[in-house]
Amino acid sequence: MGELAPDQSTALEIFKGCCSAEGLLGHREGLQAGDVEDGITDNTTLLRFLEARRRDPEDALKQLQEAAKFQADRQVLRLYDLISVKDYEETRKLYPHWTGRRDRRGRPILALDVTHLNASTMAAWRKTREIPRQTDMILPSPIIPDMEQRAAIHFDSLTRFVLPLCTAMSDRPDPTVPVTKAIYIVDASAISLKQAWDLRDFARDISWILSTCYPETIDRIIVGNAPFYFAKIWAFMKNFVDPMTADKLEITRPADAYATMARYMGHENIPSQFGGGFQFTNGMLPDLDDGIRQALQWPISGKEAFPQGPLKWTEDENGQRRAVATGSIDSRQRCEEVAILPVKSTTHSQLPN
């Protein structure tokens, strides 16, 4: 994005006016003092919704209203600070999660090994669909989010934390352009026809949440090491996936997985199961690349890594951003500063205010 074309700028200003009139740009309930609103009501987020609707402000407004209602009804912003780290980490293993690495354009690389989505994992996931939704959530009372809440918190971590972090990095081709999308890698080497059939509800539910609440956050999805029968699997699986998301799939066989990924990322960032140099295991914490580690300041000596659980950005009156570990441990809300983003490294969205 960076410098917007005249038609983009005009459409965005019209869209912002519509959003303001509907009360969608005000402070969202659930945000804490100092919380950064990137990924929620900032210009970059608004433009994602606008682009998803082909720059039609009226259609984009309807989608943003639907997304805002979904998140408000499920108290996603409040739960982001209250979800137990254990529940968050179990959820993270279900969906493509950030590896800590970026592609050649500075976009975050997310990965998932579908081997993890086995029968027992899916049985546990289905139980979360049946959890009665809580209305009062006050620690130390038990807080048990349902499936939609857990999924939304997971994808909020991408838009609220990971994408702004990657945007702030200056070691990419054009640091003036906000990073708004991620590249997904899915290891499909062990998927079976039966497993794929069992995943249909999972695919449908998550595809709806992604396409409705987090539009235009996927650049492409590379399905790696696909077995020879994957065409049969995809023939019926694509019926449960949003068409715009389905169009972003690149299905690769073992012989060409590495070459496909190498077009977008360096050898050191390609998972070893595809022939690269990155030792990825499903559910692992982000293994930060050198550029990110060196750009951040780490308050705790020797801890140049992010901990388990959700992370968010806070900002003080001087524009200093801090990465804060939130969520709860042993029914106590956590608020732990884990990294500082120097003001000189921060590259805010170049979109008009």
pLDDT score of 151 more than 60: yes
DSSP 352: -
* Residues contacting 14, CB < 8 A, separation 6+: 57
Distance CA 10, CA 257 (A): 41
Give me the pLDDT at residue 59, please: 96
Q: Is the pLDDT of residue 58 over 60?
A: yes
Q: Residue 302: is its pLDDT beyond 90? A: no
State pLDDT tens for residues 124-140: 999 999 999 988 889 99
The whole-number average pLDDT for the span 109-118 is 97
User: For the segment 190-211, what is each residue's pLDDT rounded down to a tens digit?
Assistant: 999 999 999 999 999 999 999 9
Per cent of the chain over pLDDT 70 is 96
CATH topology of domain 6-345: Phosphatidylinositol Transfer Protein Sec14p (3.40.525)
pLDDT over 80 (residue 301):
no
CB 36 within 8 Å of CB 346 = no
Mean pLDDT for the stretch of residues 287-314: 94
Q: How high is the mean pLDDT of the chain?
A: 93
Residue 327, pLDDT > 60, answer: yes
Nearest to 196 by CA among 245, 234, 164, 162: 234
Question: For residues 48 and 215, is the Cβ–Cβ distance under 8 A?
Answer: yes
Q: 184 pLDDT exceeds 50?
A: yes
- Dump the DSSP string for 15-75: HHHHHHHTT-SSPPTTPPTTB--TTTTSHHHHHHHHHHTTT-HHHHHHHHHHHHHHHHHTT
pTM of the model: 0.94
Q: How confident is the model at residue 71 (pLDDT cuts 50, 70, 90)?
A: very high
pLDDT surpasses 80 at 346 = no
Phi, psi of 339 (to 5 degrees): -160, 155
Sign (positive or negative) of CA dihedral 181, 190, 244, 125: negative
**What distance lies between CA 63 and its chain's CA centroid?**
18
pLDDT band of 343, cuts 50, 70, 90: confident
Residues 226-256: pLDDT tens digits? Answer: 999 998 899 888 888 889 889 999 999 999 9
What pLDDT does 7 receive?
Answer: 77
- 9 falls in which pLDDT band (50, 70, 90)? confident
281-298 tens-digit pLDDT: 999 999 999 999 999 999
In this prediction, residue 344 has a pLDDT band, given cuts at 50, 70 and 90, of: low
